[in-house]
Amino acid sequence: MAEDVGREVLKRLRSVEGHVRGVAKMVENDAYCIDVVQQILATEKALERIRGLLLDRHLRTCVTTAIRGEDPAERERVIEEILNVTAARGRN
């Protein structure tokens, strides 16, 4: 499963990379501002989907392993990690 997610993430990242180059080209060509903004919004949505895939994989693998594990410090560490990521998202 993790390998499939990794391939999917890479595929999506390459697509985002192409979108960013397209946005740069639009700016170089003095495209209509709202068109550029719409492309940026589409790129942000694509990155959000990638973030979701990665968080899902992390929760189902690393976090699950830590929660089921014997080390209470590791459990606390992964919980804190998720809380920090969630808090950082709220600040953006």
Q: Which domains does the chain have, with CATH numbers?
A: 2-91 (1.20.58.1000)
Dist CA 85 CA 80 (whole Å): 9
Tens-place pLDDT, residues 2-12: 678 899 999 99
pTM, entire model: 0.84
Nearest to 63 by CA among 49, 82, 84: 82
pLDDT of residue 86: 86
Dist CA 54 CA 62 (whole Å): 11
Tens-place pLDDT, residues 33-86: 999 999 999 999 999 999 999 999 999 999 999 999 999 999 999 999 999 998
